Amino acid sequence: MTKPPVPPIEVRGSARQPLGMSPARFLHDYWQKRPLLIRNAFPDFKPPLEPDDLAGLACEDGALSRLIVHDEKRDRWSVKTGPLDEADFGRTPGSNWTLLVQDVDKWDADVAGLLEHFRFLPSWRLDDIMVSYAEPGGGVGAHVDQYDVFLLQGPGQRHWAISDDPHAPKDFRPDVELKQLARFEPTHEWLLEAGDMLYLPPNIAHDGVAFGGPCMTFSIGMRAPSQAELTGDLADYLAERLPDEQRYADPDLVPARAAGEIDNATLARLKAALPFAAALDDDSLRDWFGRFITRYRNAQTPAALEPPLDATALRKKLAAGAQLLRHPWSRLAWSRGKTGCMLYASGAAYPATPELAGQLCERRTLNPAAAPSPTEVALLLGLVNDGHLVLRGGRRR
């Protein structure tokens, strides 16, 4: 039987097809299966922010930033966690250092605009855009990520080496704060120019180093909760909802064959007393996941509006033409089931209509209908007062 041909590891993109192919083909052939280098994925790519802006953001209290310096002669690595200051940058050498800032899309609307190119993925799957600036030789060392990532090259050049050998060792160096691989033997190497993009599925070893001069890279990472995180949060969710009087019970107990044995009958009773995911009805499972996935890896949450609005005031503002902007730290998802439609925002649930819930998840700016229904007004009011939506503009009366 003839084996199907192996899809190419390198393709050429275009403004019409940034992936170099249709999203359906990419998901079928590459997503979580094999790496892909897309040359010219973003033709004439212009960075949405400058290095000085990134350095300024790294000095903000709420930003997640790291300054990593590599002493090449002694092969020693130092990591300074933000907030940084000008003195930190003043002490950097002329090469072999990099600045990493996570969640830049939450701080900069132009950076967030890059996410529009990844709308073929569920919005709740996208985690953040991390931006790195590196001087020549700068990088973080060979490592693996536990999630999918698109590495979009900005100004400058970066040399990428990867290993798609499934049997390659994954041991970490014991002498480095970063989770660097102790051994790394690349199977592919490329030099990426501005606008090129490298897609890596989880657990692909890789190492990126600035080449020839300074460079910037925009890393679009996915949310991929571990089984431990999923199980732990689901257990907490169930524990909050199970009545205290439901306890381990053994009315079928028979004389023990061996003192202290946890026998098969005990295990069966434990399974009956712990109704995890398999025992959940669909609506409960949806409700838990909606709350979990919109809360997962949220570094910050919006502040509630003070003083809160009432429904009348909100209707007046909307009638006057006010827009609703989604707060950059708010993550949204929605579902519908037998109990109706629910919108989830940063772990909270709001009754919704499918139409409005879909619009809120799809758009960052919303112009509500002239005559929203009572359910829609209640939803918008809750989101505004909880800080997930911000009112802007509107005619003064």
- Tens-digit pLDDT profile for residues 49-66: 999 999 999 999 999 999
Contact 97, 68 (CB under 8 A): yes
pLDDT of residue 228: 87
Strand residues in the chain grouped as ranges (E): 10-12, 36-39, 64-71, 76-81, 97-102, 126-134, 149-153, 157-163, 188-192, 197-200, 205-211, 215-222, 323-326, 332-337, 340-345, 348-352, 365-366, 389-392
Cβ atoms within 10 Å of 283's Cβ, excluding its own: 15
Is residue 263 within a helix (H) or strand (E), and if so which, with residue range? none
pLDDT of residue 38: 98
**Local structure of residue 246 (DSSP, 8 states):** -
* DSSP percent split of the chain into helix, strand, coil, nearest 5: 25, 25, 45
Tell me the pLDDT tens digit for each residue of 345-359: 999 999 999 889 989
* CA 96 – CA 81 distance, rounded (Å): 17
Tell me the pLDDT tens digit for each residue of 13-56: 999 999 999 999 999 999 999 999 999 999 999 999 999 999 99
- Domains of the chain are 10-222 (2.60.120.650), 226-244+266-280 (no CATH), 311-392 (3.40.366.30)
Q: What percentage of the chain carries pLDDT values higher than 70? A: 94
pLDDT of residue 140 exceeding 60: yes
pLDDT of residue 326: 94
pLDDT of residue 171: 93
For 327-347, letters b (16+ CB in 10 Å) and e give bbbbbbbbbeeeeebbbbbbb
pLDDT of residue 74: 92
Contact 54, 99 (CB under 8 A): yes
Output the six-digit token pair for 38: 């897309």
Tell me the pLDDT tens digit for each residue of 325-384: 999 999 999 998 888 889 999 999 999 998 899 899 988 999 876 667 888 999 999 999
pLDDT of residue 337: 83
Name the pTM for this structure: 0.87
Mean pLDDT to the nearest integer, 262-270: 73
pLDDT of residue 99: 98
Tell me the pLDDT tens digit for each residue of 78-124: 999 999 999 999 999 999 999 999 999 999 999 999 999 999 999 99
Is residue 49 within a helix (H) or strand (E), and if so which, with residue range? none
pLDDT of residue 325: 95
Confidence of residue 396 (pLDDT cuts 50, 70, 90): low
